[in-house]
């Protein structure tokens, strides 16, 4: 079974992101496949490379990266949602007068129209 997962909750302050992570991890452990994980709305904060929780707290950014490396899933972020929330690539940040961006290199940009096209190739869509 192929899943597409939408994450719309911020990494901290809501359970959406952590619940999505645990769901995706469970899907892989059950030998199913997650085609794409799409971060939209406040979910784009998950791609912010400048998130530094306390050492005794769960680091959701590092968890997403480990999941990507272990299972080769794609972490996709909506660019328009990101720009509205200040999550920028280095190129965009320089364009807007900042020294550097805060977009994690482990994520990739994917527009909502591209995501809509990909939905047709998934068996299930789950939103958190």
Tell me: the pLDDT tens digits for 7-61? 999 999 999 999 999 999 999 999 999 989 999 999 999 999 998 899 999 999 9
Beta bridge partners of 6: 38, 127
Residue 45: name the closest of 14, 5, 91, 1 by CA.
Answer: 14
Catalytic member of 73, 76, 78, 98: 78
Query: Catalytic residue at 76?
Result: no
Confidence (pTM)? 0.91
């Amino acid at each position: 079974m192929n899943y597409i997962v939408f994450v719309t909750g911020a990494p901290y302050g809501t359970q959406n992101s952590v619940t999505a992570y645990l769901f995706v991890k469970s899907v892989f452990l059950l030998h199913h496949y997650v085609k794409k994980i799409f971060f939209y709305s406040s979910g784009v904060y998950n791609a912010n490379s400048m998130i530094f929780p306390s050492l005794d707290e769960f680091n959701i950014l590092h968890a997403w990266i480990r999941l990507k490396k272990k299972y080769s899933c794609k972490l996709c972020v909506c660019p328009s949602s990101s720009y509205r929330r200040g999550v920028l690539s280095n190129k965009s940040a320089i364009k807007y007068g900042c020294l550097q961006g805060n977009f994690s290199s482990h994520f990739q940009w994917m527009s909502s129209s591209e995501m809509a096209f990909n939905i047709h190739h998934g068996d299930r869509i789950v939103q958190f």
